[in-house]
Amino acid sequence: MVPRLFAWLRRHQQLVDTLFMLPIGALAVIIRGRWIATTSDGLPQQTPYLLNVALAVALCLPLIWRRRWPRAVFAVIAAVAFIQWLMGVNIAVFDLALLVAMYTVAAQCAFRWALAVLLVNELGLVLLIWRLIHQSTPQGTWRQLSPDSIGLGAIWLCGLYISTRRKYTLSLEERARRLERERDAQAEVAAAAERARIAREMHDVIAHSISVMVIQADGASYAIDTDPARAKRAMQAVGATGRSALTEMRRMLGVLREGDGKAALAPQPGVDALPDLVEQIRSTGLPVELAIGGAQVPLPGGMELAIFRIAQEALTNVMKHAGPSATARVELHYGDGAVELRIRDDGRGATFSDGRGHGLVSMRERVAVYGGEVTAAPARSGGFEVIARMPVREAPAKQEVGAP
């Protein structure tokens, strides 16, 4: 209930100021002020009732708008208080409005304005004591200036503390909002990167598998009457490829569903899986050669996966676009601080495309992670050629025990 109450009060500040002003004004009307000047019998002269009410209204009524226009409200109240001093009316309950206005300026305005209102109030205090001394009243002594100034300064410091506290709170709130925006932006970037990664994996796996299945199924439909055994093998290859694709898809979707890190993990295909990939492509009827040369060095798992996916995508496009009599060759070469993958076919040399251009984009994204580059263009001798080159940073050799 308390937080709700404070929230309600913050939303209705003008009503709060009105309720705060009413008791001061009521006391000022009930308790009459007195003149500083004395009568012939030595008694202070009482303030007329109407003048008392007029001063109370003039000093207290502007407090209703003290939060909206703090400096203007203080100026009005200070002017009325100066008129009160000129009329010789002693301080009364309604003069508390001057302290409230000073506190508001110190709490809401810049320091220069807070210092200005403090000096104005201090000047008013000096004028009041001077008048009391001039009229020879019991309160008229300069020794009263010190405790009154301390009380005035304490109220002023309270306003400065509230101002500093409010600025600190606002800075914390702004920082929290900024951090929240940064967190949301980072989450969006991470989500976009993850979506791109999943789309790339789904494309590389599913598109390749479906292409193999379509070609095998077409071959089986042509051979079913003339060579039933060959058609049977083709359909078996279709089933094996479909099950492999389904397993791969379930694995990826399982990682997405498992939010506690308990998803089943499986090794990603790498360079060692290239012979199996080539054999799978050969089973579709496309002659493929594989050549691995150079001094083989250990590669990061992500780089091996990139090599496998690029070869898979390139061979899939050879099956789609190279034509029925085409052949292909896959070359992987280690050397010169880099590893180079080259897939070449002698087919019709059709433009490398999967319908939307995702294949080449996927290759470039994979290679760019390792600072490499991909080129895909028709070969000079005919057909089409894809070349992916990635730098390899060899790990420093371990020093033998006892070596200098």
Reported as type and span, the H/E element at residue 45 is: strand 44-46
8-state DSSP, 203: I
Higher pLDDT, 139 or 99: 99
pLDDT category at 37 given cuts 50, 70, 90 is very low
On the question of pLDDT at 11 being above 70, the answer is no
Which of 121, 140, 159 is the endpoint of a domain? Answer: 140
| pLDDT computed for residue 300 by the predictor | 84
What pTM, to 2 d.p., does this model score? 0.46
Q: For 224-379, where are the alpha helices, taking DSSP H only?
A: 228-257, 274-282, 301-321, 358-368
Tokens of 338: 């880099």
Instruction: Give the pLDDT mean for 128-156.
Output: 78
Instruction: Give the pLDDT mean for 242-257.
Output: 68
Q: In whole numbers, what is the pLDDT of the chain averaged over residues?
A: 77
Q: What is the layout of strands, in order, in the sheet containing 373-378?
A: 288-293, 328-335, 338-345, 384-391, 373-378
On the question of pLDDT at 402 being above 50, the answer is no
On the question of pLDDT at 36 being above 60, the answer is no
| pLDDT computed for residue 398 by the predictor | 39
337's torsion region: left (phi>0), alpha (psi -120 to 50) or beta? left
Tokens of 24: 């001061």
Please, which residues have CB within 8 angstroms of residue 225's CB and are 6 or more apart in sequence? none
Percent of the chain whose pLDDT exceeds 90: 7
Q: How far apart are CA 95 and CA 81, in angstroms?
A: 7
Please, which residues have CB within 8 angstroms of residue 23's CB and are 6 or more apart in sequence? none
Question: Is the residue at 303 inside a domain?
Answer: yes
Question: Is the residue at 230 inside a domain?
Answer: no
Question: Is the residue at 241 inside a domain?
Answer: no
On the question of pLDDT at 137 being above 70, the answer is no
pLDDT category at 257 given cuts 50, 70, 90 is low
Tokens of 10: 């913050």
CATH of the domain at 328: 3.30.565.10
Question: Is the residue at 170 inside a domain?
Answer: no
Which of 140, 157, 183 is the endpoint of a domain? Answer: 140
Q: How far apart are CA 362 and CA 374, in angstroms?
A: 10
Q: How far apart are CA 275 and CA 318, in angstroms?
A: 17
| pLDDT computed for residue 227 by the predictor | 79
How do residues 175-224 score in pLDDT, each as one tens digit? 988 988 888 888 888 777 767 776 776 666 676 677 777 777 877 787 78
Tokens of 48: 């007329």
344, 343, 387: which is closest to 367 by C-alpha?
A: 387
Please, which residues have CB within 8 angstroms of residue 387's CB and are 6 or more apart in sequence? 340, 341, 342, 374, 375, 376
The mean-pLDDT minimum among 82-86, 107-111, 391-395 falls in 391-395
Helices 49-60 and 13-30 sit at what angle, rounded to 10 degrees? 160
284, 275, 305: which is closest to 370 by C-alpha?
A: 305
Query: What one-letter code names the amino acid at 184?
Result: D
Contact by Cβ (8 Å): 328, 303:
no
Question: Is the residue at 228 inside a domain?
Answer: no
Question: Is the residue at 107 inside a domain?
Answer: yes
pLDDT category at 394 given cuts 50, 70, 90 is low
Contact by Cβ (8 Å): 310, 363:
yes
On the question of pLDDT at 35 being above 60, the answer is no
Question: Is the residue at 234 inside a domain?
Answer: no
pLDDT category at 85 given cuts 50, 70, 90 is confident
Structurally, the chain folds into a number of domains equal to 2
| pLDDT computed for residue 145 by the predictor | 81
How do residues 318-374 score in pLDDT, each as one tens digit? 887 777 778 899 999 998 788 999 999 887 755 454 444 567 777 888 888 888 899
| pLDDT computed for residue 330 by the predictor | 92
On the question of pLDDT at 139 being above 70, the answer is no
Which of 140, 156, 184 is the endpoint of a domain? Answer: 140
pLDDT category at 395 given cuts 50, 70, 90 is very low
On the question of pLDDT at 19 being above 50, the answer is yes
Note down the domain range covering 25.
Answer: 2-140
The 10 Å Cβ neighbour count of residue 14 is 12
pLDDT category at 7 given cuts 50, 70, 90 is low
The 10 Å Cβ neighbour count of residue 82 is 14
pLDDT category at 75 given cuts 50, 70, 90 is very high
On the question of pLDDT at 397 being above 60, the answer is no
Q: Half-sphere exposure (CA, 13 Å, Cβ side) for 36?
A: 22
Higher pLDDT, 10 or 127: 127
| pLDDT computed for residue 39 by the predictor | 46
Question: Is the residue at 75 inside a domain?
Answer: yes
- Secondary structure (3-state) at 330: strand
Distances (CA, A) of 348 to 296, 325, 344: 33, 9, 12
pLDDT category at 378 given cuts 50, 70, 90 is confident
pLDDT category at 119 given cuts 50, 70, 90 is very high
248, 290, 298, 244: which is closest to 270 by C-alpha?
A: 298
The mean-pLDDT minimum among 7-16, 69-78, 147-156 falls in 7-16
